[in-house]
């Protein structure tokens, strides 16, 4: 006799991946779906990640924009930045977005539980209320959380989660780390008038991205006022008055009002009951899944950051959608993890898709086309900013296999370049595309000669 379940699908986690999977399974395929979220609906991206971060990026740009405006003839001067006023608007916007997420779920007929849920066995979840529900399928979409090394234990340090909730902006801050979050917040806080120091333990920030792009951004960050030290880590910290005294590996001692650790994120799998249900976890605590996002327990799937594949919102959404198509839509679909474009919202931004020059050169013969120049808008305002655009071309197939842009609006540009590159565009396809003039992006189709081959 067929077993009777309370739900076809129980989703644990109301972030980008979980919500997409729940909505598609319920609304498009008529599944009976429940979802549990222990914090706020929308997850990291909406509540304490991409969305509030991007709004802070916008906020942080207005100071420099007002200075530029004077060069363009406007009689304006930036007054002070009113953090409480901005935060109130930010909070209201996040409330609005959370409500949109909730409405989307309830419109799709998903039953929402505002509490923690853990896995009990291959088909059961236990809610914090004590209720146990049986589901034919369980989807783990619990995301991740900031990792803070032991060194920082006992000293009050902040993570990206806390920045959005500050009552006031500090006068000075030390940011530890050299990845996406560290670099983005260094630029944001610098733009908002905070004195920013950044320590990164490695040779150059943004490890994994194209080498020249990394160097270009580091230079621009320094020129914009970020006190960036590479090859430097925290040795010890102690509270000093209301601030933190930091001794670093290069022998310096400095006092900062706040210290922010942006040293990576780890999957949220602790105490979820996964081991006892037989789900395999990797070295970083990530749920191990196959290309269908299925774990070794056939009824349990996982999507998004909890699987530690490519930790980006749009990837989690694709994985959630592919899961719903596969399991409930009878349309077997694998999420495609090839040529995923991304942007780092530093100032200037980095937009990137495909291989870095270093990785590409290690694989095959390549040609590198690139340009660096002062963009019209900021050059007119007397700023020394430079942009960089670079195409990595496979010498054999002529396909563009990497594109790296450091420029204002690079995130917008790379989205469009990524379509062509995903379609397999060759360098000659770029060349026969007529430029849109005068724009920054036109340089991508006017790169005539390789600067080097490797
Ligand atoms: P990242 O993995 O990008 O960077 C972590 C940084 O912390 C690295 O510079 C790393 O150094 C350093 N680090 C790690 N451990 C230590 C330690 N014990 N002591 C000192 N430094 C340490 O993580 P983030 O937290 O910045 O971001 C997490 C993920 O979130 C990203 O990978 C990305 O997928 C996503 N994200 C995406 C954004 C976007 O799309 N714009 C924005 C923000 C986040 P090392 O290089 O030496 O390992």
Q: Which residue has the higher pLDDT, 168 or 1?
A: 168
Residue 30 alpha carbon to ligand 1 centre in Å? 39
CB of 201 closer than 6 angstroms to any ligand 1 atom = yes
Residue nearest to atom 46 of ligand 1 (CA): 207
Listed in sequence order, the residues at least 6 apart from 362 whose beta carbon sits closer than 8 Å to its beta carbon are none
Burial status of residue 160 (CB atoms within 10 A of its CB: 0-12, 13-18, 19 or more)? buried
Q: Whole-angstrom Cα distance, residue 120 to residue 276? A: 8
C-beta of 178 in contact with ligand 1 (< 6 A): yes
Q: Residues in the chain, how many?
A: 454
pLDDT band for 1, please (50, 70, 90 cuts). low
Q: What is the structure's pLDDT at 157?
A: 95
Task: Count Cβ neighbours within 10 Å for each residue of 140-149 and write b for 16 or more, e otherwise.
Answer: bbbbbbbebe
Taking residues 302-310, what's their average pLDDT?
A: 98
Closest ligand 1 atom to Cα of 205: 9
User: Is it the case that residue 2 has pLDDT exceeding 80?
Assistant: no
Which residue among 47, 218, 228, 263 has the greatest number of ligand 1 atoms within 8 angstroms of its CB, and so is best to mutate?
263
Question: Of 137, 145, 404, 437, which residue is the catalytic one?
Answer: 437
Taking the complete model, does pTM exceed 0.95, yes or no?
A: yes
Determine the pLDDT at residue 433. Answer: 98
Nearest CA to ligand 1 atom 23: 264
Which residue minimizes the CA distance to atom 45 of ligand 1? 202
Instruction: Return the best residue to mutate from 185, 264, 286 for the ligand 1 pocket (most ligand atoms within 8 A of CB).
Output: 264
Contact 402, 356 (CB under 8 A): yes
Q: Which class for 129: exposed (0-12), middle (13-18), buried (19 or more C-beta within 10 A)?
A: exposed
The pLDDT of residue 5 is above 70: yes
| CB of 149 sitting under 6 A from ligand 1 | yes
Report the nearest-CA residue for atom 38 of ligand 1: 180
Nearest to 106 by CA among 14, 8, 5, 43: 14
pLDDT computed for residue 334 by the predictor:
97
Average pLDDT over residues 99-118: 98
Q: How far is the CA of 285 from the centre of ligand 1 (A)?
A: 16
Residue 202 Cβ < 6 Å to ligand 1: yes
pLDDT for position 78: 83
What the chain holds in terms of domains, given with CATH numbers, is 7-144+266-328 (3.50.50.60), 150-263 (3.50.50.60), 342-453 (3.30.390.30)
Mean pLDDT on 411-432: 98
CA distance 423 to 446: 20
Given a cut of 90, whether residue 81 has pLDDT beyond it is yes
Which atom in ligand 1 lies closest to the alpha carbon of residue 313? 40
Dihedral (CA of 84, 175, 316, 34) sign: negative
Contact 12, 36 (CB under 8 A): yes
* 313 Cβ below 6 A of ligand 1: no
437 as an active site residue: the answer is yes
pLDDT in tens, 60-69: 999 999 999 9
What token pair was written down for 230?
A: 């590479």
pLDDT in tens, 195-218: 999 999 999 999 999 999 999 999
For residues 421-427, give the mean pLDDT: 98
Interatomic CA distance for residues 156 and 137, integer angstroms: 41
The answer on pLDDT for 427 being more than 90 is yes
Task: For residue 133, give every residue at least 6 positions away whose Cβ sits within 8 Å of its Cβ, in sequence order, or none.
Answer: 6, 7, 10, 34, 124, 125, 127
pLDDT tens, 217-271? Answer: 999 999 999 999 999 999 999 998 889 999 999 999 999 999 999 999 999 999 9
Whether 76 has a pLDDT exceeding 90, the answer reads yes
The percentage of residues in the chain with a pLDDT greater than 90, rounded to a whole number, is 96
């Amino acid at each position: 006799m067929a077993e009777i379940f309370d739900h076809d699908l129980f989703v644990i986690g109301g972030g980008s991946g979980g919500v997409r999977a729940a909505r598609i399974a319920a609304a498009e395929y008529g599944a009976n779906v429940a979802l549990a979220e222990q914090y706020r609906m929308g997850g990291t991206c909406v509540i304490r990640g991409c969305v509030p971060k991007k709004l802070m990026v916008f906020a942080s740009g207005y100071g420099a924009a007002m200075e530029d405006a004077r060069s363009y003839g406007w009689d304006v001067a930036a007054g002070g930045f009113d953090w409480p006023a901005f935060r109130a608007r930010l909070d209201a916007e996040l409330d609005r977005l959370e409500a949109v997420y909730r409405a989307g779920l309830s419109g799709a007929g998903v039953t929402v539980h505002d509490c923690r849920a853990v896995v009990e066995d291959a088909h059961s979840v236990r809610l914090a209320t004590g209720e146990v529900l049986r589901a034919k399928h369980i989807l783990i979409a619990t995301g991740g959380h900031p990792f803070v090394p032991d060194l920082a234990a006992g000293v009050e340090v902040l993570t990206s989660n806390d920045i959005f909730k500050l009552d006031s902006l500090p006068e000075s801050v030390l940011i530890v780390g050299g990845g996406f979050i560290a670099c983005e917040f260094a630029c944001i806080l610098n733009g908002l008038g905070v004195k920013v120091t950044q320590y990164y333990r490695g040779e150059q920030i943004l490890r994994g991205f194209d080498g020249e792009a990394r160097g270009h951004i580091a230079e621009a960050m320094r020129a914009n006022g970020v006190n960036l030290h590479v090859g430097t880590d925290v040795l010890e910290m102690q509270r000093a008055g209301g601030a933190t005294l930091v001794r670093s590996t290069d022998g310096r001692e400095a006092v900062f009002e706040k210290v922010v650790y942006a040293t990576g994120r780890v999957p949220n799998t602790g105490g979820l009951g996964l081991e006892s249900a037989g789900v395999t976890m990797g070295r970083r605590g990530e749920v191990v899944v196959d290309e269908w996002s299925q774990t070794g327990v056939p009824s349990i799937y996982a999507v998004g950051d909890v699987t530690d594949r490519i930790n980006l919102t749009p990837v989690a959404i694709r994985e959630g959608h592919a899961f719903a198509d596969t399991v409930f839509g009878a349309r077997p679909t694998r999420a495609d993890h090839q040529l995923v474009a991304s942007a780092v919202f530093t100032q200037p931004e980095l937009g990137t898709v495909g291989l870095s020059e270093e990785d590409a050169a290690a694989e095959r013969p390549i040609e590198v086309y690139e340009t660096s120049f002062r963009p019209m808008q900021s050059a007119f305002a007397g700023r020394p900013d430079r942009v960089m655009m670079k195409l990595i071309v496979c010498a054999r197939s002529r396909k563009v296999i990497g594109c790296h842009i450091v420029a204002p609006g690079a995130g917008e540009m790379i989205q469009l370049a990524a379509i062509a590159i995903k379609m397999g565009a060759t360098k000659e396809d770029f060349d026969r595309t007529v430029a849109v003039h005068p724009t920054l992006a036109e340089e991508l189709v006017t790169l005539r000669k390789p600067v080097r081959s490797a």
